[in-house]
Structure 1
């Protein structure tokens, strides 16, 4: 196994562990998939690296102050979901992925008689900026039907909740510009919680009255494009 392949695998592993969404098995699967065409890839080496690095991350988390910025962001997104603004954490790798996931949920909500007002999200490329020196996180948003008046209500509500929960927020008032959370201190460990489909529908069911019974959602994996 070439050293350059090891270096590339470790770089991706470092990011994924800091993101904090994947457990050990998921980390192995996603990294191995990245190098699917490497016949001499050392899987045992990767398993050892994942175990040691993930354990260190978990050990470090015991000294974190709470609530973390992620925990506060969850609080914001949960409230938005209560208000029928579909809000997804780490929704895919690109804007197209994220908006596709949001609209899929919105369509399924519509099928049971719940009309979503809009949506917001951040994806893995956004999260890379949060864990690097930039320490900033973009939040994308829109209304369900790209109605500018409703989109303005959506973004203003998102900004208000973020600021109320202590985030430093920048938004220039243009619907063509995403919300920017600055000076974010990203800290998260894997907790086996589905912060997308599962959590959205759990909240929707609790705080709204669907016309038909919600069907159990399939386990939808995080998107990864390499």
Structure 2
């Protein structure tokens, strides 16, 4: 989830219920977590602010409605969405030795630490990485586009190696029909302008 709430454990107020529903809507639109995990994560975020047992029924009812509305909206979506293009681009990068992760960890700091560990475990076949974290997902859902972290596996190779990986990422994204905004320097993350439409997983 995107952030943790603080406060007293108590029966949920109308404001708490409304805020939790907004968070749920964002998670449904993000399209990564299964329904029960969405409920559990939101309850954890509000556990100091509201009694989870009292808040859960409100979330379960709203989740049912939110998923139904999301699946109904999908009927008017194009056959291939920007999220589909992003999936295809990340899969291609992965096949070429660039670890590509979506909705990866809570923030850039944690994501960088985790991807370094993944690259160490992957060995020499991992040439570099790209990822966006949960806060980036939230921003993209809200219509602000996406920003990607990236880098080379060999940190001692200098910024030129990271820029080479960045250029490969940019080319792959553009090949799959996505618009990229990046100045070609390590000082700037790779921006991707996209209309966030990620299909809900089919019910089991």
Q: Is 2:146 aligned against 1:137?
A: yes
Number of the residue aligned with 1:115: 125
SS in 1 for 2:150: strand
SS in 2 for 1:93: coil
CA distance in 1: counterparts of 2:78 and 2:46, whole angstroms: 36
How far 1:76 moved relative to its partner?
Answer: 0.7
Check 1:190–1:100 CA distance in 2 against 1; reply closer, same or farther (3 A cut). farther
The secondary structure found in structure 1 opposite 2:72 is helix
Aligned-residue offset at 1:108 = 1.8
Q: Which runs of 4+ in 1 moved over 4 A?
A: none
**Are the aligned partners of 1:22 and 1:190 in contact in 2 as well (CA < 8 Å)?**
no
Q: Give the TM-score, by structure 2 length.
A: 0.85
Is contact 2:129-2:153 (8 Å) kept?
Answer: yes
| TM-score, scaled to structure 1 | 0.77
Gaps of 5+ in 1: 193-226
- Which residue of the partner structure matches residue 51 of structure 2? 39
Q: In structure 2, what is the equivalent of residue 95 of structure 1?
A: 108
Question: Which deviations, in whole Å up to 9, do the C-alpha atoms of 1:125-181 show, x marking residues without a partner?
Answer: 1122212243x1101101113232321210000011111111111111211110111
**SS where residue 42 of structure 1 aligns?**
helix
Cα distance in 1 for partners of 2:33, 2:200 equals 6
CA deviation vs aligned residue, 1:70-109 (integer Å, no higher than 9, x gap) = 1111111111111110000110120012222322221221
1:12 paired residue number: 23
C-alpha RMSD of matched pairs (Å): 1.6
Tell me the residue number matched to 1:149.
160
Q: Distance in 1 between matches of 2:114 and 2:100?
A: 10
* Offset of residue 191 of structure 1: 3.0
Rounded Cα–Cα distance in structure 2 between residues aligned with 1:63 and 1:19: 18
SS at match of 1:108: helix
The whole-number CA distance in structure 1 between the counterparts of 2:114 and 2:197 is 24
Measured in 2, the distance between the counterparts of 1:101 and 1:70 equals 23
Secondary structure, aligned partner of 2:125 = coil
Name which of 181, 184, 197 aligns with 1:187: 197
Cα separation, 2, equivalents of 1:130 and 1:154: 23
Question: For each residue in 1:194-216, what CA deviation from the matched residue of structure 2 results, as whole angstroms up to 9, or x when unmatched?
Answer: xxxxxxxxxxxxxxxxxxxxxxx
> Partner residue of 1:208?
none
Give the conservation status (yes or no) of the 8 Å contact 1:21–1:189. Answer: no
Distance 1:159 1:69 in 2: 15
- Greater length-normalized contact order (CA 8 Å, ≥ 6 residues apart): 1
